[in-house]
Amino acid sequence: MLTQPNSHRLRKGRHSEIGRAYLITAVVNDREPVFADWRLARLLVAELRRAHEQQQATSLAWVVMPDHVHWLLQLQADNLSSVIGAVKSRCARAVNQHTGRQGQFWQTGFHDHGIRDGEDLRPYADYLLANPLRAGLVEDIADYPLWDAYWL
């Protein structure tokens, strides 16, 4: 039986609340830098936007890194696992169709951090958007094409 690294850390029986903000991280299987190709990254962006347009989640900020995505959202419908699972599934199908890839695309599960009611969301967005800077991908976030934030 194959297991994913750190899969033992995934929370069982995850609980989510409509209206609560969450900081999400989802990682590509084997940390393959698939999204270094901006055309493939745009397929993921389209799925984040679809979730927003379908009122499943309000996107507050997101950044697509070469091998993972960070998404600050406010849950609007269903439950967190269903929303994230749908985004990951649709993205995987789109990337696989575009590239002819097969097999598992995303690592199992995702990491989430529920943000307390009334807590300022801006520091979370700032931290999330600084990822390309910390990774040394750019010196100025304005030079990185794969991010968006409600505040900007």
pLDDT digits (tens, 9 = 90+) for 39-77: 999 999 999 999 999 999 999 999 999 999 999 999 999
- Which one-letter amino acid corresponds to residue 77? A
Instruction: Provide the token pair at 123.
Output: 């520091």
Structure tokens at 126: 């700032």
> What does the pLDDT average to over 103-118?
94
In CATH, the number for domain 17-117+127-140 is: 3.30.70.1290
Model pLDDT, residue 150: 87
**How high does pLDDT run on average in the chain?**
91
Q: Is the pLDDT of residue 1 over 80?
A: no
pTM of the full structure: 0.88
Nearest by Cα to 75 from 63, 67, 64, 84 = 84
Whether the pLDDT of residue 8 is over 60: the answer is no
Closest CA to 134 of 73, 77, 78, 65: 65
CA atoms 42, 70, 35, 152: torsion sign: positive
| pLDDT given for residue 152 in this prediction | 65
